[in-house]
Amino acid sequence: MKKWTSALILVSAVILIGCGGGRNKKMEGAKGIDVSPDKLSHKLDPVCQMGMEQHPIADTMTYKEKLYGFCSPGCKEAFTAEPEKFLSELPK
């Protein structure tokens, strides 16, 4: 129950902080590299499931040799804490 409550609080914080917006298809990613959605393992932010083709990619992270894009630093932070949880919730 405690883990579930912690996860709910974390996801709520991400929602309250807000995800990135905008309509650019490319944005400077982590480590100063140019990132486009076609370079990502999945076209959705794994935390909020925002489409990375319609919104700017604020940051990226490589996990198990796959590149994931995030709409905001908050989504990346949430993913870093529990990557398997968020990956299991992504549509196939």
Whole-number CA gyration radius for the chain: 13
Look at strands 59-63 and 66-70 and give their pairing.
Answer: antiparallel
Per-residue pLDDT tens digits of the chain, which is 92 residues long: 555 555 555 555 544 455 654 433 344 444 434 678 889 999 999 999 999 888 888 899 999 999 999 999 999 999 999 999 999 999 87
What is the domain partition of the chain in residue ranges?
Answer: 2-89
In 3-state terms, what secondary structure has residue 4? helix
- Separation between Cα atoms, residue 34 and residue 49, nearest integer Å: 21
CB 86 within 8 A of CB 15: no
Tokens standing for residue 49 = 């499931």
